[in-house]
Structure 1
Amino acid sequence: MPASRTISVNGLEFFVVEQGQGPLVLLCHGWPELSYSWRHQVGAIAGAGFHVVAPDMRGFGRTSAPADVGAYTIFHNVGDMVALVAALGERQAVIVGHDWGAPVAWHAAMFRPDIFTKVAGLSVPPPSRGRGLPLETLRNNGITNFYWQYFQGPGVAEAELERDVAATMRIVLAGRGFSDPAAHQFVQEGKGFLAGADPNRPLPNWLTEADLAYFAAVYQESGFRGGLNWYRNIDRNWELTAPWQGAQIHQPSLFIAGSKDGVITGLIGAKQVKEMERVLPNLRQKLILDGAGHWIQQERPEEVNAALIAFLKD
């Protein structure tokens, strides 16, 4: 059975769930999620002969949340994973990430190939650094209401999302966002991120009331500020990663996503998926699960687990 503990890393206290013995595998979750998002993977991968560790990432859940918005860059988040490997007594690991955790995994493999020997990204393709600051590029293209932009003002999204945490988690995981092909990623002026969603929508078959209650209870305690601060570093991350413009990730790699995931169905995402071999010359598999949405490892755990374990054992 998985166990949990707190590990001191980079001056923060990281809550981790872990199980198994063998080579180390780190599982990095996204927004608005937790280590709990990997509940179907931890035991399965551990049973295949690995030491699996899933942290609540910086600013999420039971892990420390620095007050400084600038403490949530891609460098901080990759640095946490580097330090976590050392704190676990290891020199190397395989790193897997979903949603925001995927850029952490991709960049960890890019920055520290000596530590991260394999990398898998779920839902979010590998980094393709554009020509300009992402938020500035949106504005220059006449877009002012993308959800990334709505999340920028400190306190605004927090107030909306924390008004009714249980309803927020139900809407975001079950009826709003990337798993619903009809849902859009734009915020109408004067309305919030959750506007127009049905908080009483029935849960999909992959999400139980108990699962939802767990997410809600943890976010009731932590709030949403830490995770939102990751979005507030989008332009800063573009500036910081300038030295890796055009860089490739040469380790064995794996990509998994759902065919109905809004991240990969848009023009930019579809292009990134089509051309990802440019960044990943050692891509072992590009698995697009038909009919699946964004929360892929929760929605289709058996298929995701089979692909991850085959990749780990290859």
Structure 2
Amino acid sequence: MQEKNSFYREIQVVPKQAIPLSEESGHRRFVPSRLTGWMTFEIVALQPLHIGDGLLAPPEALDLPKEASLVKAFVRRGGTLMLPGSSLKGAVRSLVETFTHSCVSKSKVKRPDDWGECTYNPRGHRGKLCPACRLFGAMGYQGRVRFEDVPLLEGQRVVHRIPPQYPPRPAPDRRRYYPCDRVDGRERTWPLEVVQPGARFAARAAFVNLTTGELGLLLIALGRGRWELCLRIGAGKACGMGAVRIESLHIERVRPEQAFRAFAVEAEAVDEAACLEAALPLLREEVLEELARGLNPEVCGG
């Protein structure tokens, strides 16, 4: 792990552990021995948070003080601020890729095959997938975790400025992450519409045919277990923005063979401790220890 500047750190990429996809990891049937269900939780902002809709708007049109002629607007649906499910899924996947032996996906940087993006041919079900691709999906293979769009429950909005941003320039053999206590100190000139720390969002995710270990990986990325990671979501991660904490997490599973025989689905609690224990063989624990130091709630303002 190397440190090349003041506001991010890098983690060495390792060869992926890709294996052929099993019949139980498909979508054609519910597997009784695997976990199918959903989880609900709240997302609490520990730092200013912004996910843009791609538009610039006058602040008065957003009911904000006129502190700039135009600001980058927060994404909305029906007038309500929201975190897109795709943004949340991407943040969770990025963490899982980092602390497991997974490929480096969706990157234009040329990398050797042993850690380049997984490939899968749905015709004949040929190909090998790493832990992250088996969980979240790959080209030709639908992931088995789905995050819904996340509406804002409560929170205050302000205009917040950050330094000009530039495209990431990753090294071919390293992953980059942004510790909460490291901040880009350049002049702040870009105005954004943000929600302030303390804002709360109501989230829901569904999962299908997961092993206990795969669900354990998901839980670790959501801050469970002894590492207590914070997610970083949205813009300005290098500028003291984007840290969130997961609270009030509740997980339930259904037994499909029972659900199809009854009108009312009876959900069961999931043994969270067993899932975390089953995930241990899949982890790069030294990386998790490093991430826990930089993404700890106390460091991120929680």
* TM-score tier after normalising by the smaller chain length: under 0.3
TM-score with structure 1 setting the length:
0.25
Bigger helix share: 1
Bigger strand share: 2
Structure number with the bigger relative contact order (C-alpha 8 A, sep ≥ 6) is 2
Query: Which structure's CA Rg is the greater one?
Result: 2
